[in-house]
Amino acid sequence: MILVDGDKLTMSRPGRPLFSNLSVTIASGDRLGIVGLNGCGKSTLVRVLIGEAEPEEGVVRRGRGVRLATLTQNPRLTPGTVRDAVGQGWEGEAVLDRLGMGDRLDADVSTLSGGEEKRVALARTLVAEADLLVLDEPTNHLDIDGIAWLEDRLAGFPGGLLLVTHDRHLLDAVTTRVLEIDRGNGYIHEGGYDAYLEGRAAREEAAGVAEAVRANLARRELAWLRRGAPARTRKSKSRIARANALLADGPQAAARSGELNLHVDTPRLGDQVVELKGVTAGRPGKPAIVTNVKLSIGPEERLGIVGVNGSGKSTLLDTIAGRIEPAEGTVVRGPTVQLGYYDQTGRELDPKQRVRDAMVDGDGDPDWRVGKLLESFWFDSDTQFAPIELLSGGERRRLQLVMTLADKPNVLLLDEPTNDLDLDTLRVLEDFLEDFPGAVIVVSHDRAFLERTVDDVVVLDGSGRVGRIPGGYAAWEDERRAARGRKRSSAGAKPALPATSAPAEPAADAPSASTLRFRMKDLEKAMRPLQKRRDVLVAELDAKRDDHAALVELGAEFDRVGAELDRLEEEWLEAGAALEDRF
């Protein structure tokens, strides 16, 4: 049964086309994800398909009697209590509880924060009787447990699903088709997130091959014409013009290609960064939510902060930043620390201000450096001179990120940085953080982002306790699974969190934990090309088994590569053992 059919849809926004001649059909059982760059029109397409906006061209047909339940980026709740806004009795209350709103059932919706409103709206959507669920960024403002529960809920939903999300785990788990919007065109990939990545890579590779062939033909044609006799020049002018046009007018390049220079001149960070000594803190006028925190942050720290909603993650980050003064204990910041804070709301942006002017905030005219930095974040020349009010929500978040990095911090505090950023921006941000020369502290619910960016996690359990777990997100998940197993076997007390107090002091000349982690990362980078070369050598040895001279040469190189790999792996194991001794 066809649920929604959009045929040859075209939409634009002032001064900029979004997509044209785009067709998409969703039938019963389809599970379609929509991906694309910030500002490409994903949310606009959703609004057109559900009937909240009329297409400029094309038509949308909906199946007779099809029931839609939708979650938009900016949902509205009916006045009353949270319980009333969701309805559906016990089921509504159960879903609210799983989304972290179980203690706010009788709260008036007018008192909710933006994140709480989104969770209530999500609960309302999930309990509605629907043939088609339409969810636009449903994981924003959910904690990791809430996202895992949502993943299971959507996997068991029998109807159609239309999903816009940046959560790669969720895309991979629940979608069976992906619609990619790329510079106004739509591409359907049969399969989940991996199929989308493969399809996009193949398309861009094919475009690159076609471009290389076209350019070579054009250059050969042009060289031949220019070598011709002077008497033939008049007859060849049109052909020369066509060849020049061929060189200038090739197919579109990849939307985002090449290495993007996201690094700015980061000031050197000294050995003393931030240390929390017995810190107890809470929001002004409210009880303390984190207690007796002892935490030392090194100059090359990669630290994630995780926990359920309301456990104090943002409070702890604000305390580290100095936005909240602790009720007890002290926070010591090193003299070379220059903080950059990218929080959930971001900086205030004047909607009438041009993008490039926002970078200097009225302090003179933007210079060429500002333009170059904006271009590196895919704000082209047209967008740089556009007013901020024309940017999509994701583009505004990207602009706020650029403004944070432009301040040249050497300590980055990131509070839910993945919200509203597109997948390409997330991948580049992950690469940027991997090589960032300072310290990074991240609050995030994005499992893929945590897996790639942090070495240790600080866990907040919701009762004020804070514990540090080495090994990052994966190690934390392993501990949680083990704890759930213990809990099933013996009902009772919560598993003890790891202590936050400093471990036994290592020898004075022993490397710090952060130094050891970075040494392990450097060793892993050094091993990758050697591993690839070893694989190539294995194939070449097999291919040239009858060439004695080649076998001797290849065998000698294989031995050298193997010996170097063995040495690096031994160093990696030693560094790992030394790191374990720190905890």
| Digit-coded pLDDT (tens) for 538-558 | 888 878 877 888 888 888 888
278 burial type by CB count under 10 A (0-12 exposed, 13-18 middle, 19+ buried): middle
| End-to-end Cα separation, the chain, in angstroms | 58
Q: Which residues of 48-79 are buried (b: 16+ CB within 10 A; e: fewer)?
A: bbbeeeebeebebebbeebebbbbbbeeebee
Average pLDDT rounded to a whole number, residues 6-25: 90
Indicate which CATH number applies to the domain containing 297.
3.40.50.300
Cβ-based neighbours of 58, under 8 Å, separated by 6 or more: 6, 7, 8, 9, 10, 21, 22, 23
pLDDT at 8 over 90: yes
Average pLDDT rounded to a whole number, residues 488-517: 54
In a domain, 119, yes or no: no
Q: What is the pLDDT of residues 408-466, one digit of tens each?
A: 899 999 999 988 888 888 887 888 888 788 999 999 998 888 888 888 888 887 766 67
In a domain, 418, yes or no: yes
**Are residues 466 and 552 both part of a single domain?**
no
**Are residues 459 and 537 both part of a single domain?**
no
**Are residues 179 and 287 both part of a single domain?**
no
Q: What is the pLDDT of residues 112-166, one digit of tens each?
A: 988 899 999 999 999 999 999 999 999 988 988 899 999 999 999 999 999 999 8
**Are residues 418 and 563 both part of a single domain?**
no
Q: How would residue 223 be classed by pLDDT, with cut points 50, 70 and 90?
A: low
Domain boundary among 160, 175, 197: 197
Domain boundary among 197, 224, 250: 197
Give how far Cα 474 sits from Cα of 45, 345, 417, 480, 536, Å.
Answer: 36, 28, 20, 10, 31
**Host domain of residue 58:** 2-67+130-197
What pLDDT does 235 receive? 41
**Are residues 466 and 559 both part of a single domain?**
no
Strand arrangement, sheet containing 57-62 = 16-27, 2-13, 57-62
**Are residues 296 and 429 both part of a single domain?**
yes
Sole residue written with tokens 């690096």:
568
Question: d(Cα 162, Cα 177) in Å, to the nearest integer?
Answer: 10
| CB contact at 8 A, 335 and 355 | no
Q: What is the pLDDT of residues 75-125, one digit of tens each?
A: 889 899 999 999 888 999 999 999 989 889 999 999 998 889 999 999 999
Work out how many domains the chain is built from and give that number.
3
Domain boundary among 144, 172, 197: 197
The more confident residue out of 239 and 28 is: 28
Strands 185-190 and 328-333: unpaired
**Are residues 57 and 137 both part of a single domain?**
yes
What pLDDT does 504 receive? 45
Please state, rounded to an integer, the average pLDDT across all residues of the chain. Answer: 82
What pLDDT does 214 receive? 62
In a domain, 494, yes or no: no
**Are residues 565 and 475 both part of a single domain?**
no
- Lowest mean pLDDT, pick from 387-391, 429-433, 476-480: 476-480
What pLDDT does 419 receive? 85
Q: What is the pLDDT of residues 341-378, one digit of tens each?
A: 999 887 888 899 999 888 887 667 777 777 877 887 77
pLDDT at 474 over 60: yes
Q: Which of 140, 89, 132, 92 is CA-nearest to residue 116? A: 140
CA angle, 359 as apex, 357 and 364 as ends, to 5°?
60
| CB contact at 8 A, 439 and 301 | yes
Average pLDDT rounded to a whole number, residues 174-190: 91
Q: Where are the beta strands (DSSP E) in 420-573?
A: 439-443, 456-460, 466-470
Share of the chain above pLDDT 70, in %: 82
What pLDDT does 501 receive? 41
Average pLDDT rounded to a whole number, residues 311-320: 91
Q: Which of 261, 191, 204, 208 is CA-nearest to residue 33? A: 191
In a domain, 104, yes or no: no
Q: What is the pLDDT of residues 238-263, one digit of tens each?
A: 555 555 555 555 555 555 544 444 45
In a domain, 263, yes or no: no
Q: How would residue 31 be classed by pLDDT, with cut points 50, 70 and 90?
A: very high
Q: What is the pLDDT of residues 251-310, one digit of tens each?
A: 555 555 444 444 557 778 888 899 999 999 988 888 888 888 899 998 888 999 998 888
How many C-beta atoms lie closer than 10 Å to residue 496's C-beta?
A: 9
In a domain, 406, yes or no: yes
Q: 26 forms bridges with which residues in the sheet?
A: 4
How many C-beta atoms lie closer than 10 Å to residue 106's C-beta?
A: 9
**Are residues 183 and 296 both part of a single domain?**
no
- Lowest mean pLDDT, pick from 12-21, 26-35, 43-52: 12-21
DSSP labels for 277-298?
A: EEEEE--TTS--SEEEEEEEE-
**Are residues 323 and 442 both part of a single domain?**
yes
Question: d(Cα 362, Cα 349) in Å, to the nearest integer?
Answer: 12
**Are residues 450 and 555 both part of a single domain?**
no
**Are residues 39 and 160 both part of a single domain?**
yes
261 burial type by CB count under 10 A (0-12 exposed, 13-18 middle, 19+ buried): exposed
pLDDT at 490 over 60: no
In a domain, 357, yes or no: yes
In a domain, 179, yes or no: yes
- Alpha helix segments (H runs only) across 367-471: 368-376, 381-384, 393-406, 423-435, 447-453
pLDDT at 496 over 60: no
Give the DSSP H/E element, type plus range, for residue 245: helix 233-248
Token pair, residue 503, equals 């471990």
Share of the chain above pLDDT 90, in %: 33
